């Protein structure tokens, strides 16, 4: 099979032939139809995350937003059939036995196996996956549209769910990119009044086209004052990798509000303890999501309430796509189609 393979950190991926994986008794073999290109893939390829660098396999096939059809399966994969269309997410496997898993946080399982990091992912014509952890894709949802929901979509969905957003709440989305444009739509599906905040006018225009109630250009010197005048948000979801976005979001938050950490700046975040106490602010974070979260966000998409802005590209363009990511030239999500 053709696969884009990482041999060394910071080196281009190599498109080469690789053996078709053989599914074990509890696994399925999937013919890949679409695989989203996540910014996390670039971080992994660059070796940016020290906590994962030491456990990543190499050579490695990246990719953890995978959708395709089952073409083979092991003997114990009885609940799935040949031809079923399924997706594979960041969490390749979790134990389902530890306290963390039993408390509904399988995405934080200390024994987890990670797709496209500790096992091969979806930048290839075939992938094998644990039958217990694939999720069926609704019929009304195209594979290329579904793929980014297996990371970008479920991550922001879990953040919004954890924030406890209720109808009528004011929600500000900071960064209307691949994550933020999905967060905007999901927050709307929860009945929120949504404000979009970005430094790029074209992204704010995109947010208005998606139905944002208000928009603010974060580059304006009085951006915080503008947000406060329009109504300080109950929840600020930062989908940007900019520390400045977090500073603005925290300053604009209403007393008792919630700051949701989704985007990953290179530098640490810092908030004065007195400011946290004075506002009784709450800070939460979202690490991808569970299988239950995935099914819920896929159902939203199948119902037409969430639609990912995608551009499809062939596998042999993956290194060019990574460069476009470095340059900040991608609007929405890129999906490899095989």
Are both 297 and 261 inside the same structural domain? no
What tokens appear for 173 in the block?
């989305």
Query: Token pair for residue 299?
Result: 């159902």
pLDDT at 151: 97
**pLDDT of res. 329:** 86
pLDDT band at residue 306 under the 50/70/90 scheme: very high
Question: Tell me: the pLDDT tens digits for 152-205?
Answer: 999 999 999 999 999 999 999 999 999 999 999 999 999 999 999 999 999 999
Question: Percent of the chain scored above 70 by pLDDT?
Answer: 100
The CATH number of the domain holding residue 22 is 3.90.180.10
Asked if 238 and 268 sit in the same domain, the reply is yes
22 shares its domain with 106: yes
Same domain, 162 and 268: yes
The CATH number for 174's domain is 3.40.50.720
pLDDT score for 49? 87
For residues 163, 112, 334, 249, the Cα torsion angle rounded to the nearest 10 degrees is 30
- Do 158 and 266 sit in the same domain of this protein? yes
Mean pLDDT score, 12-38 = 98
Determine the pLDDT at residue 294: 98
Last residue of a domain, one of 285, 308, 326: 285
User: What pLDDT is attached to residue 330?
Assistant: 87
Residues 157, 147 share a domain: no
- Does 109 have pLDDT greater than 90? yes
Same domain, 131 and 161: no
Rounded-to-integer distance, Cα 313 and Cα 335, Å = 6
Last residue in a domain, options 243, 258, 285? 285
Q: Are 6 and 60 in contact (CB under 8 A)?
A: yes
User: What is the pLDDT, as a whole number, of residue 266?
Assistant: 81
Please give the tally of structural domains in the chain: 2
Average pLDDT over residues 57-76: 97
- DSSP-derived pairing of the beta strands 214-217 and 235-238: unpaired
One domain for residues 236 and 257: yes
The per-residue pLDDT for range 143-159, each reduced to its tens digit, is: 999 999 999 999 999 99
What are the DSSP E strand ranges found in 131-247?
135-136, 170-174, 193-198, 214-217, 235-238
Tell me, yes or no, whether 9 and 133 share the same domain.
Answer: yes
Q: What proportion of the chain, given as a percentage, has pLDDT over 90?
A: 94
Domain span including residue 269: 153-285
pLDDT of residue 142: 97
Residues 24 and 126 in one domain: yes
Phi-psi group of 53: left, alpha or beta (phi > 0 → left; psi -120 to 50 → alpha; rest → beta) = alpha
- d(CA 35, CA 335) in angstroms, rounded, equals 6
Q: Once rounded to an integer, what is the mean pLDDT over residues 291-308?
A: 97
Q: 145 and 159 in one domain?
A: no
pLDDT at 207 over 90: yes
Average pLDDT, the chain: 96
pLDDT tens-digit readout, 85-107: 999 999 999 999 999 999 999 99
Q: Tell me how many helices (H) and strands (E) the chain has.
A: 12, 18
Do 162 and 265 sit in the same domain of this protein? yes
Going from the C-alpha of 51 to that of each of 48, 101, 117, 128, the distances in angstroms are 9, 21, 12, 25
**Model-level pTM?**
0.95
Closest CA to 67 of 165, 9, 173, 144: 144
Ramachandran angles phi, psi of 301, nearest 5°:
-65, -40
Segment 232-259 shows an average pLDDT of: 96
Of 262, 285, 308, the residue at which a domain comes to its end is: 285
Sorting pLDDT into bands at 50, 70 and 90, what band is 331? confident
Which tens digits make up the pLDDT trace of 26-63? 999 999 999 999 999 999 999 998 888 889 999 999 99
pLDDT at 237 (0 to 100): 98
The pLDDT of residue 289 is: 96
């Amino acid at each position: 099979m053709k696969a884009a393979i990482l041999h060394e950190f910071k080196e281009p991926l190599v498109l080469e032939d690789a053996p078709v994986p053989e599914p074990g008794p509890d696994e399925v073999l999937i013919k890949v139809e679409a695989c989203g290109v996540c910014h996390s893939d670039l971080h992994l390829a660059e070796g940016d995350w020290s906590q994962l660098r030491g456990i990543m396999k190499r050579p490695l096939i990246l990719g953890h937003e995978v959708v395709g059809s089952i073409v083979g399966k092991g003997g114990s994969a009885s609940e799935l059939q040949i031809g079923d269309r399924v997706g594979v997410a960041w969490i390749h496997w979790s134990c389902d036995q530890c306290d963390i898993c039993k408390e509904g946080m399988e995405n934080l399982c200390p024994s987890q196996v990670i797709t496209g990091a500790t096992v091969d992912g979806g930048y290839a014509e075939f992938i094998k996956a644990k039958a217990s952890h694939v999720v069926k894709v609704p019929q009304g949802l195209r594979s290329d549209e579904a793929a980014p929901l297996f990371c970008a979509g479920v991550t922001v969905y879990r953040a919004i769910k954890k924030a406890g957003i209720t109808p009528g709440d004011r929600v500000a989305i900071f960064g209307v990119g691949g994550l933020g444009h999905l967060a905007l739509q999901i927050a709307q599906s929860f009945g929120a009044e949504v404000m979009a905040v970005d430094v790029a006018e074209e992204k704010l225009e995109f947010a208005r086209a998606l139905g944002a109630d208000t928009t603010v250009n974060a580059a304006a010197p009085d951006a915080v004052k503008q947000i406060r005048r329009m109504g300080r948000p109950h929840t600020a979801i930062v989908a940007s990798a900019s520390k400045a976005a977090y500073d603005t979001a925290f300053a604009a938050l209403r007393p008792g509000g919630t700051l949701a950490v989704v985007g990953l700046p290179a530098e640490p975040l810092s908030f004065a303890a007195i400011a946290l106490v004075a506002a009784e602010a709450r800070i939460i974070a979202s690490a991808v999501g569970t299988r239950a979260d995935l099914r819920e966000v896929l159902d939203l998409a199948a119902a037409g309430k969430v639609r990912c802005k995608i551009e499809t590209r062939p596998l042999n363009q993956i290194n060019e796509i990574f460069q476009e990511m470095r340059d900040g030239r991608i609007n929405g999500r890129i999906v490899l189609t095989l």
